[in-house]
Amino acid sequence: MPVDAEKEITKLYRALHSAQDEIGKTFYRWRQVAVEFAGADANPQDVALRAAEVFGKDIGKSILPRMNWLKGEEGFMMILGKALAGLWNTDGGRATAEKGENPGEVFIKCSRDPWPSWAKQFGVPMEEVALCRERMYQAVLEDVSVFMNISLKIELQKAIPRGQGETILRLYKAE
């Protein structure tokens, strides 16, 4: 029986998008339950930021085996920048890593981010979405910095959830 390649690719593509959609919704379902368990005095944003830290620490440990200095500092920074952009792409976003003007600088740019849409479905403020992404990436860099013996920082410069059209994070080697 012949295989219809276009039909099979379409099925896989739909399955991928369904899985990506569940990733985001699961986070916000979890957030809702965690906020309810934390009690009336808890700040929902603090709960979400703590979750972003936990996610980031775990992700940081998983990308460590791919980090090396074989291509020098600029190569290392691009590998790391591409790994961080890849996290967004895995969730259904469209992100890239680009070299900065300085050797120890990379810009991670995201032109499509599904997280604000998911957050909106659950009534989560857009500022929280932006802060969680930044906090998660900061947590990723903690273990990478220690393991590679280099002080790495990341700062959010623009954010789709803030209505700025694209999200730009500056990854850099701190002096």
Question: What CATH number does residue 108 fall under?
Answer: 3.30.1380.20
Residue 68: its pLDDT value, please? Answer: 83
Instruction: State the total domains in the chain.
Output: 1
Query: What is the number of helices (H) and of strands (E) in the chain?
Result: 5, 4
Q: Which domain holds residue 119?
A: 5-173
Q: What angle do CA 104, 116, 113 make, to 5 degrees?
A: 45
Q: What whole-number distance in Å separates Cα of residue 79 and Cα of residue 70?
A: 11
pLDDT for residue 71 = 84
Please report the pLDDT score of residue 28 as a whole number.
94
pLDDT of 13 reads: 86
CB half-sphere exposure, 4, CA atoms < 13 A? 5
d(CA 126, CA 148) in angstroms, rounded, equals 33
Q: pLDDT under 50 in the chain at which residues?
A: none
pTM over 0.95: no
Element (H, E) at 170: strand 167-173
* Per-residue confidence (pLDDT) for residue 126, from 0 to 100: 95
